[in-house]
Structure formats: structure tokens, C-alpha cells
Amino acid sequence: MEIVGSRSWFEVVEQFSGVIRGWEQRIHEVNNEATETGAHPNEPEPGSEMALDKEEMFYYFAAVWNALAQSVDHLGAVVDLIVSRPELRVFAYPSLLRTALLGSAEAVWLMGPRERSVRTGRAHLLSAEELRHHAAFLNDDPEERGNPAGGAAVFKQRRDQELAILARTGFNEKYEATAIIREAGAHVEQIMNVPQGTSRWYVSQWRMMSAQAHGRTWDKRYRAGYEAGVYNGEQRVSVSRGTVETLGQWMSASVAVTAAAWSLFDDGRRSAQSRAQASSPGPHANSG
């Protein structure tokens, strides 16, 4: 999978749309079956690393699946928009792509570490973040329908419990989006066999996407095709030139991290026996 290149936005969308549609179909089928049967068909196999992680921290598997699902949903929305109405939306597309990138990077961040204590510790940290935001929401709107008895205090107490677990185990990481993107980029280097140093590139693209999504202007000089000039005594930046190439790079970045996340997911949810069977040649592999 090409990560950094000079292809345009439209070429990248055309290349990756089939991959994204495949991920969408998988999630759709899994969710439908889970709704009908009450069982998740991609549930980790007994004895797998992910099953053991889930036994230690119940929220782990749900956090990973949710991160993957939201990433694919945003990528699918990009394809929907560009196929139905191929218009260059220079602020809207970066917003969708940065969200997709963070979701898949979060999944990689949860699954990537070798040590179970780090993987489950991060799930506790993510749970604490969820509870913090839930409590803040109820503080702002205490009359919200469905507000449980005790309101924000209930979720603050649960968050404190999560933080106490982290303190007791000596886990001192913080949830920080840029650090998550950086680590995911390092995993992509290994999984996708791309040149070292790519993780810094991912962070740069993340910062630029975020800037563009929020209507900032500082990132324009770092895009492909930047032109500096003078117009009425002020700096002039070419708005359209290079934009399609830059969007193509952002799309490639988001898809690459999502592909790495799926690779980790399918590897982690399978038992050692299943992985061995999948990698071993069939009974007639050497027959001639």
C-alpha cells in the first residue's frame, strides 16, 4: 500500500474505495448478526491474546471494535460524498479523515503493545476518559432525559475507580491524541513494511488535517504545490494547486492506519492454533 505519493485525491479514492467498502460490509454483517443472535461473530477465540485481554479488562474488546467501526464509518462517508458529488470540499474532507485516522490509530494504540498490562491499562485509561466526558455532560445538562440516579457523581465515582486501578498498577500514561497518532505510525512502519520515520509523517499529516478542518491557515505553506507571492503587499497562497494531492496523502494515511488496525485485530482475536492453521500449507501444497 502506497503511503506517500504524488497521486491526486480522486486517484486515491478510486484505489481505496473497494477496500473501504469491504470493511463497511464486514462491520454491517457483524452488527446485523450480533443484533439477531446476541453474539458478536468476531468475538475473540478462547485462549487468544484478545480474549485474555478481555478477561482482564471487560471494556477492552468493545473499545477496539468501536474504534475500528467509527474509523471505517468516516472513511465510508468520504467515499459516499466523492462518488455522489465529486466536489472539492477543502474543510469537510479533512474533518472526516482526521476522525478516521484517530479512530484507527486508537485501535492500533490499544492492540499494538506486546505487554498485556499496557494494553489493558490503556483500555482502563480510555474508559476513564469516557466516564469523564459523561460526567461533564451531565453536569452541563442535569435534566437530560435518562439521567441516572445520582447523575454526574455516579460517573465521576466510576472514573475515580478506573484511575485508582491505574495508580495501583503503576500505569502513568496519559490520553493524548498526537502521541497515539505517533505510536500508530510506528506500528504501520512494522506492519506495512514502510520506511522508518513514517510515524513523524503521520503526526505532520494529523496536524495539517486538524488545522484545515478547523479553518486555520498556517498549514497551507506545507502542502504540495505551495506558492508564495505578493498580492496587495500581503502573502498569497494558492488555494487550489496541490490541494487534491494533499487530500490524497491524507486519505492514504487514514486508510493505511486502518489497514494496520484490522491486521492487528484479526491476529489478536485468533488463538495460536487458528493462526498456525491459517499459516500452514494445505495437505496438497507440495503435491505435483
> What local confidence, expressed as pLDDT, does residue 8 receive?
61
Calpha distance 222→199 (Å, rounded): 17
One-character DSSP codes across 257-277: HHHHHHHHHHHHHS-HHHHHH
Longest dimension (CA), the chain: 77
> What local confidence, expressed as pLDDT, does residue 188 receive?
86
> What local confidence, expressed as pLDDT, does residue 230 receive?
45
> What local confidence, expressed as pLDDT, does residue 229 receive?
52
> What local confidence, expressed as pLDDT, does residue 233 receive?
45
Grid cell listed for 113: 503493545
Global pTM?
0.85
> What local confidence, expressed as pLDDT, does residue 4 receive?
40
No. of helices (H) and no. of strands (E), the chain: 10, 2
Q: Which whole-number Å values give the CA distances from 199 to 96, 137, 261, 267, in the listed order?
A: 20, 34, 15, 22
> What local confidence, expressed as pLDDT, does residue 15 receive?
84
Residues of the chain short of pLDDT 70, as ranges, are: 1-10, 142-150, 192-197, 223-242, 278-288
Contact partners, residue 41, CB within 8 Å, separation at least 6: 29, 30, 33, 34
> What local confidence, expressed as pLDDT, does residue 87 receive?
74
Sign of the CA dihedral with 141 first, then 144, 146, and 147 last:
positive
> What local confidence, expressed as pLDDT, does residue 85 receive?
78
> What local confidence, expressed as pLDDT, does residue 141 receive?
73
